[in-house]
Chains A and B, each alone.
Chain A
């Protein structure tokens, strides 16, 4: 943890809190979101969580920030929202983004790379939702639902990533240390 400064640690906690707030409805109502399966997961999970996660990574700009933000958001939201099964989903998304940052380095900070990562983030989210979280809860969805949800989620995931990046770039100049 010495790798992160105190400001980084507190900023990640703040983004974790934001993740908790925006993830509140998503974690509780994801079962109900299945009623509108194609757009539901995107509105409840991909967009709000994507904006916060990319804003966090763009502000801190250190590998590990995304995983930590996801860990904080999921661990706090677990007792607050009764959705412990989402911890896996959150963590995998965070680890994937950090891995992308480790691989790309500073080449990550342009719109093309952010869009690609937004697409990866959304794809992982949808796959984990339909093949891990929902089956763990005993809910089954046919393949065509996943297939139709994927492009919608990817499109909105890219939008969310770009908004988060824009927000994080501005916020990073306000962060000291």
Chain B
């Protein structure tokens, strides 16, 4: 997976998971609220800052860059084709399907490609990438068990936290099992990769049935260990805020204040 924990000992790695969750929340809120291109670029740049402290393996960097290019290309192409300014038509455009084209023309109002739309899409990609950066930073620097402890400390009920950790543990198991089933069915020569319904029937069904049987065993194991006994649950993993988190909160506060002030300035409130 591209988003995978990278075990290092950096400043960001040692931060409390709650600090990183709050950072993701802050970036998401700003990504939704900001509309101005410059502020979106600034938000993106801010979201890159934590990566300066993490030594991300080259393989992962290349994969991330590829993913980012794909997302940017998607945003650019889709907006080049579908963006229409509130005033009507973009300044420079070329009709792909003119409005007077039979059937499709009147139905769609004409399909055009415009440079203005492409630029708009490019700017909007920063919004998506900023959120992606904050998420990637969190996953690359926090083991999932610490992340779940962090969520629990933020108020998620322990049963839900148990479900989350079980789901996280299930992901690689299910992927391995699917691979095994796929290979086995393929070896039997009964898979037709061009027949999606058959593919689902022969691979997904055994996967779900095996997994449900495993759920029964897991449930027995959990109950024998006192799950759902009503006692307060404790955790082997402990987390606590440190001076690093204070520094991170100061930086986060400065970035948030800067962006909020700029936003108010753009709105004409300051």
Q: Does B125 contact A (CB under 8 A)?
A: yes
Q: Does A105 contact B (CB under 8 A)?
A: no
Q: Known contacts A170-B209, A176-B216; is A6 also within 8 Å of B223 by CB?
A: yes
Chain B 157-181, CB within 8 Å of chain A: the 1/0 string?
1011011101111110011001000
Residues of A within 8 A of B223 (CB): 6
CB-based contact A31/B131 at 8 Å: no
CB-based contact A137/B163 at 8 Å: no
CA distance A59 to B215 in the complex (A): 12
Listed stretches B73-81, B248-256, B260-268; interface member: B73-81
Q: Does A104 contact B (CB under 8 A)?
A: no
Residues of B within 8 A of A5 (CB): 219
Number of interface residues of A (CB under 8 A): 59
CB-based contact A139/B78 at 8 Å: yes
Q: Known contacts A142-B109, A174-B212; is A10 also within 8 Å of B222 by CB?
A: yes
CA distance A10 to B173 in the complex (A): 14
Residue of A81, A139, A142 most packed against chain B (CB within 10 A): A139
Residues of A within 8 A of B123 (CB): 138
CB-based contact B167/A76 at 8 Å: yes
Listed stretches A17-25, A95-103, A121-129; interface member: A17-25
CB-based contact B166/A10 at 8 Å: yes
Chain A 1-45, CB within 8 Å of chain B: the 1/0 string?
110011101111110111011001000110111110100000000
Q: Known contacts A34-B74, A177-B219; is A17 also within 8 Å of B174 by CB?
A: yes
CB-based contact A163/B219 at 8 Å: no
CA distance A145 to B131 in the complex (A): 26
How far is the CB of B160 from the nearest CB of chain A, in Å?
8
Chain A 66-91, CB within 8 Å of chain B: the 1/0 string?
00100111011011111111000000
Residues of chain B from 42 to 95 with CB closer than 8 A to chain A in the complex: 67, 70-71, 73-75, 77-79, 81-84
Q: Known contacts A51-B204, A171-B208; is A139 also within 8 Å of B108 by CB?
A: no
29 contacts between A and B (CB under 8 A): A1-B159, A1-B228, A6-B219, A7-B219, A10-B219, A13-B162, A13-B166, A14-B166, A14-B215, A16-B170, A17-B170, A31-B78, A32-B70, A35-B74, A35-B77, A51-B204, A59-B208, A73-B167, A75-B151, A82-B133, A141-B78, A144-B107, A167-B204, A167-B205, A170-B209, A174-B209, A174-B213, A175-B212, A177-B219
Which are the 5 A-B pairs with shortest beta-carbon distances? A32-B74, A17-B170, A82-B135, A34-B78, A138-B124
**Chain B contact residues, CB within 8 Å of chain A:** 1, 3, 24, 28, 31-32, 35, 40, 67, 70-71, 73-75, 77-79, 81-84, 107-109, 120-121, 123-125, 127-128, 131-136, 138-139, 147, 151, 157, 159-160, 162-164, 166-171, 174-175, 178, 197, 200, 204-205, 208-209, 211-216, 218-219, 222-223, 227-228
